[in-house]
Amino acid sequence: MSGKNDNKQVTTYKKKSQLESIWFRYKKNRLAMVGLFMLAIMILLAVSAPLFADYQKDAVSQNMKLRYLEPSFVNGHIFGTDHYGRDVFARVIYGGRISLFVGLTSVIISALAGTTIGSVAGYYGGRVDNTLMRLMDVLLAIPQNLLAISIVAALGPGMFNLLIAMSVSGIPEFSRIVRASVLNIKNQEFVEAAVACGTNDARIIRKYIVPNAIGPLIVQATLAVAKAILSISALSFIGLGVSPPTPEWGSMLSEAKSDMRLYPYLVIIPGIAIMLSVVALNLIGDGLRDSIDPRLKN
Amino acid sequence: MDTSLVEVKNLKKYFKTPNGLLHAVDNISFSLKKGQTLGVVGESGCGKSTLGRTILRLIEPTEGEVLFKGESILGYDFHQMREIRKQMQIIFQDPYSSINPRMTVSDIIAEPVRVCKTITGEENIQKAVNEIMERVGLSNRLVNSYPHELDGGRRQRIGVARAIILNPEFIVCDEPVSALDVSIQAQILNLMMDLQEENGYSYMFITHDLSVVKHISDEIMVMYMGQCVEKAKKNDLFDHPNHPYTKALLDAILIPDISEKKKRSNLIKGEVTSPVNPKPGCRFAPRCPYATEACTAGHVPLKEISPEHYVACTLFQ
Amino acid sequence: MTSELLKINNLHVTYDTDEAVVYAVNGLSFTIDRGETLGLVGETGAGKTTTALSILRLLPNRIGKINEGEILLNGNDITKASEKDMRAIRGKQVSMIFQDPMTSLNPILTIGDQIAEVLKLHNPNASKSEISERVNKSLEMVGIPADRKEEYPHQFSGGMKQRVVIAIALACEPELLLADEPTTALDVTIQAQVLELMMELKEKLNTSMLLITHDLGVVARICDRVAIMYAGQIVEYGTLEEIFTGEKHHPYTEGLFGAIPDLKKETKRLNPIKGLMPDPTNLPSGCKFHDRCKYCTEKCAANEPRDIHIEGDSHIIKCHLFDK
């Protein structure tokens, strides 16, 4: 009987789940690890901000006696103080909370909504697909930042409205990506196999289609967070994000506009903060793309 | 009494394409008894895969009848079909794309049971999965493995396990060994034949490989561009091929035997074209050395020229 | 000029991937004479394609490495040749046909252009009309009307595409053709046509051929000599007669023949070779086939067998069974 012949196999199969394989490949990518490290530090700083500075005392309250102190290790303000005497370091790490929180959360919401819309459109096709995707096209026709601006302008500034604006404006792109993946996956034989067992549509989408569409989605999501951080900064820069005195990197840039010549550090420091987070996320996104890619096909 | 398990009558499947109507399956009829294997042979574009899927209603037929145990399944709704699907299953060709890369081996095999709820209780399901894995020759230590860790042969065993866990009566086997190495092919073929002997499965075995089809079938149907050109019991077909296409197919086979270096001047020329808006009559006529005007004048029906041996050819009308 | 066109001695090739080292070819040696066709037979993972790619030095860049051994083309060791020299060889002295005709052709160039390209590369001084003439000749040689040369690959069927691939490979009349499963992806009747074509051309141009395949039927039709490959080594080597009719065989060869359903005889069950191909990152000790071999002894698990000459020079089997 041909039954048990493979139990004598000399080799053992390395039981790597797909997550482990992906992490294994990711680790080898130096730049990707640097990105991960950078992001981890930033999140750590943002989360543990109260350990470093007091929100009210350092980041918000004005202290005209301490205005425009240059960054130094000795005077207790390593990033200096701004035009209101507020500690820049404290403002940067508290500001990071906003950028990172709104960035990450808005992308999560967009991704969830986009995935639902994209998978339903891709799976059912026909009129459902047309209707949903034309709706998405309407949103896509407006540049993402402008869309965010109009939503915030309508709802008013503030972190919560910012979150709504960022989430909504990010949905169409995710729905497009997921729909493309779904169109590809639904024609694979294993989906046919599921139909042949009498599996219903909901289960097919849930267990067969979406898990296989996650790859490109995750890469896109990481890059979208970077974009979101830039957008948030841009919106705050023009006064449509969070309102003063809440610290945020973009509004810090805006407030320091006029002081650029005399006190460049007020512009450089928040600028670097934005840049580092975007670079970190891009490196992570690229690293993920390379490690999720099934190059090593057996 | 004629107890056919599956009966197909005048089954047609046409696809609308920008160039016209594609006659993928054109007027196919056969009947399959319990425990028997019908081999369906043909080259690419002959419609054999479409035929298998249409019978299971993975693709909806355009016209015709499919009877399972005497009842027509074409009118069934989703829930009735789900009931019937417990008895009619399919094994696919490509072991790389026919199993979900994101599910473990155990989940893949358990899925039909979970969907059809034929076994309840996690423990019972696991027990059933383990039993089936043993039966198809998959080591139990692979329960939590993912498909990408396994080779083609093992993956195909997963496909077989998934098809039999509901204990069906009829299994469509769509080129199940074509993508496998020779020695693994032999293992899987033996497995399928053993399972058939133990459980009385009826197979519709689709393949392009004539030596495989001869080994496993009881009856063989030869298809060309959507039509059935010849149908006979296995030995009868190989000993007395009648249709020119069947003869050409048999002539083209290369056997690993150097004692007969046959003359190859009688190879057929030309290629298969797509059956889009096909002309009436026999579709092999353009390539057939014996073609006459009668061949394309009108429909050439299947005729029984000797007991249980059918040919659709003007040479035998 | 000797009759030996290609001689490979003790070739060792590995793939150094992120996860492990893959031992693809482990001590391979064979010879191809002028005008001769050698069938390289084995299953997936045996190392056949790696061998062909090594000859043309087309292994993946940082990963594939020729660690040991020599490949002598007309007496010159081409493992040491520069990339420039290799480019002069590829397409001119040695050509390759790959397995899948659907993806071997560039979809945005006409087939005429693709044939012309290889001609222009190796005949930089030829005039346009000369090239055009030769393109027409190539197409006619493979049975495609010359007026189809302005058409694109997607306008041809699988069998026709493979003919175009053959035309490109033979355009410069190479001395050696490496054909990697050239007919596997084709229908049975088309396979027959393409093989006949290849045999005709081989005769006409006196081209030697390394035919890589897993199909013993194809080998029986077209090859002069056969090498059976397993886990990166040649386990049996001989003329067509010796492999197909001889009495003595390597157990793997025996297994291969036994696993094929026989069209002539009625068999209840097939005789598969038990087990699976070994993991090339973790090859077994001793004889690489020992854990699947029904004649396995203690010696087999411990020591690698050497090449035994069976009755004369041409039939060689790598197995302890024949080592007396």
Question: A3 to chain C, minimum CA–CA distance in Å?
Answer: 10
Q: Mean pLDDT, to the nearest integer, of A77-101?
A: 87
Q: Is residue A72 part of a domain?
A: no
Touching subunits of B (3+ CB pairs, under 8 Å) are A, C
| Sheet strands side by side (includes C76-77) | C21-33, C4-16, C64-73, C76-77
A296 to C18: CB separation less than 8 angstroms, yes or no: yes
What average pLDDT does chain A have?
84
Sign of CA dihedral A50, A53, A54, A59: negative
Could you tell me how many CB contacts below 8 A there are between chain B and chain C? 113
Separation in Å, CA C245 to CA A82, B21, C118, C257, C294 = 93, 51, 41, 11, 21
What is residue B271's predicted lDDT score, i.e. its pLDDT?
76
> Looking at chain C, which residue has its C-alpha nearest residue A9?
C275
pLDDT for C199-248, tens place per residue?
999 889 999 999 999 889 999 999 999 999 999 999 999 999 999 988 88
Token readout for C23 is: 């031992």
pLDDT for B185-204, tens place per residue?
889 999 999 999 999 999 99
- C267 CB near a chain B CB, below 8 Å? yes
Mutation for A interface: C276, C287, C300, most A CBs within 10 A? C276
Distance of CA A15 to the CA centre of its chain: 31
B152 to C44: CB separation less than 8 angstroms, yes or no: yes
Residues of chain B contacting A22 with CB distance shorter than 8 Å = none
Q: Count other C-beta atoms under 10 Å from residue A252's C-beta.
A: 26
Residue numbers of C between 207 and 266 with CB closer than 8 Å to B: 214-221, 240-241, 244-245, 255-257, 259-264
Which residues make Cβ contacts (< 8 Å) with residue A95, sequence separation at least 6? A247, A248, A249, A252, A270, A273
pLDDT for C78-94, tens place per residue?
998 999 999 999 989 99
- Nearest Cα neighbor of C207 from C169, C163, C252, C245 is C169
Higher model confidence: residue A203 or residue C271? A203
- Interface predicted TM-score (ipTM): 0.86
pLDDT of residue A11 exceeding 50, the answer is no
What value, to the nearest 5°, has the Cα angle with vertex B208 and ends B203 and B212? 60
- A238 CB near a chain B CB, below 8 Å? no
B81 to A198: CB separation less than 8 angstroms, yes or no: yes
Q: Count other C-beta atoms under 10 Å from residue A61's C-beta.
A: 13
pLDDT of residue C279 exceeding 90, the answer is no
> Looking at chain C, which residue has its C-alpha nearest residue A298?
C45
- Nearest Cα neighbor of A67 from A88, A52, A50, A53 is A88
pLDDT of residue C36 exceeding 50, the answer is yes
pLDDT of residue C63 exceeding 60, the answer is yes
Which residues make Cβ contacts (< 8 Å) with residue B285, sequence separation at least 6? B291, B295, B296
Residues of chain B contacting C262 with CB distance shorter than 8 Å = 211
Higher model confidence: residue C323 or residue C27? C27
The CB-side HSE value for C198 (13 A sphere, CA atoms) comes to 33
- A295 CB near a chain C CB, below 8 Å? no
C256 to B182: CB separation less than 8 angstroms, yes or no: yes
List residues bridging with B311 in a β-sheet.
Answer: B230, B303
Which residues make Cβ contacts (< 8 Å) with residue C123, sequence separation at least 6? C130, C131, C172
List residues bridging with C37 in a β-sheet.
Answer: C209
CATH 3.20.20.70, applies to B4-95+103-254+265-316: no
DSSP string covering C161-198? HHHHHHHHHHTT--SEEEEESTTTTS-HHHHHHHHHHH
Q: Is residue A82 part of a domain?
A: no
- A197 CB near a chain B CB, below 8 Å? yes
Q: Using CB atoms, pick whichever of A6, A196, A208 lies closest to residue B58.
A: A196
Which residues make Cβ contacts (< 8 Å) with residue A23, sequence separation at least 6? A291
d(CA A214, CA A211): 5
Could you tell me if B254 and C221 are in contact, meaning their C-beta atoms sit under 8 angstroms apart? yes
3-state secondary structure labels for all residues of chain B:
CCCEEEEEEEEEEEEEECCEEEEEEEEEEEEEECCCEEEEECCCCCCHHHHHHHHCCCCCCCEEEEEECCEECCCCCHHHHHHHHCCEEEECCCCCCCCCCCCCHHHHHHHHHHHHCCCCCHHHHHHHHHHHHHHHCCCHHHCCCCHHHCCHHHHHHHHHHHHHCCCCCEEEEECCCCCCCHHHHHHHHHHHHHHHHHHCCEEEEEECCHHHHHHHCCEEEEEECCEEEEEEEHHHHHHCCCCHHHHHHHHHCCCCCCCCCCCCCCCCCCCCCCCECCCCCCCCHHHCCCCCHHHHHCCCCCEEEECCEEECCHHHC
pLDDT of residue A295 exceeding 60, the answer is no
Residues of chain C with pLDDT > 90, as a percent, come to: 57
Q: Mean pLDDT, to the nearest integer, of A200-208?
A: 91
- B148 CB near a chain A CB, below 8 Å? yes
d(CA C25, CA C14): 7
Tally the domains of chain A: 1
Token readout for C220 is: 């029986």
Residue numbers of B between 223 and 252 with CB closer than 8 Å to A: none
pLDDT for A133-173, tens place per residue?
999 999 888 888 888 888 888 888 778 888 888 899 889 99
> Looking at chain C, which residue has its C-alpha nearest residue A291?
C18
Residue numbers of A between 15 and 44 with CB closer than 8 Å to C: 24-25, 28
Could you tell me how many CB contacts below 8 A there are between chain A and chain C? 26
- B140 CB near a chain A CB, below 8 Å? no
Q: Mean pLDDT, to the nearest integer, of C113-118?
A: 94
Longest dimension (CA), chain A: 91
Q: What letter does residue A204 receive in the DSSP assignment? A: I
pLDDT of residue C299 exceeding 70, the answer is yes
C244 to B211: CB separation less than 8 angstroms, yes or no: no
Q: Is residue A275 part of a domain?
A: yes
Residues of chain C contacting A16 with CB distance shorter than 8 Å = none
A25 to C18: CB separation less than 8 angstroms, yes or no: yes
pLDDT for A226-266, tens place per residue?
988 888 888 888 888 787 788 888 888 888 888 888 889 88
Residues of chain A contacting B185 with CB distance shorter than 8 Å = none
pLDDT of residue A296 exceeding 70, the answer is no
Task: State which residues form the domain around A178.
Answer: 39-54+104-298
Q: Are strands C208-213 and C176-180 parallel, antiparallel or unpaired?
A: parallel
Task: Go through the domains of chain C in sequence order and give each one's CATH number.
Answer: 4-93+174-322 (3.40.50.300)
Residue numbers of B between 41 and 80 with CB closer than 8 Å to A: 53, 56, 58, 78
Question: B121 to chain A, minimum CA–CA distance in Å?
Answer: 19
Question: A21 to chain C, minimum CA–CA distance in Å?
Answer: 10
Q: Mean pLDDT, to the nearest integer, of A14-32?
A: 75
Q: Is residue A11 part of a domain?
A: no
d(CA B203, CA B216): 9
- B260 CB near a chain C CB, below 8 Å? no
What is residue C311's predicted lDDT score, i.e. its pLDDT?
76
pLDDT of residue A33 exceeding 90, the answer is yes
Residues of chain A contacting B111 with CB distance shorter than 8 Å = 194, 197, 199
pLDDT of residue C287 exceeding 50, the answer is yes
> Looking at chain A, which residue has its C-alpha nearest residue C282?
A11
**Domain spans in chain B, listed from the N-terminal domain onward:** 4-95+103-254+265-316
- C155 CB near a chain B CB, below 8 Å? no
- B183 CB near a chain C CB, below 8 Å? yes
- pTM for the predicted model, two decimal places: 0.83
d(CA C66, CA C68): 6
Could you tell me if A82 and A256 are in contact, meaning their C-beta atoms sit under 8 angstroms apart? yes
Q: Using CB atoms, pick whichever of C158, C219, C259 lies closest to residue B182.
A: C259
Question: B258 to chain C, minimum CA–CA distance in Å?
Answer: 6
d(CA C262, CA B209): 12
Low pLDDT (below 50) residues in chain B: 1
Residues of chain C contacting A11 with CB distance shorter than 8 Å = 278-279, 282
What is residue C101's predicted lDDT score, i.e. its pLDDT?
79
pLDDT for B105-125, tens place per residue?
999 999 999 999 888 899 999
What is residue B265's predicted lDDT score, i.e. its pLDDT?
57
C282 to A8: CB separation less than 8 angstroms, yes or no: no
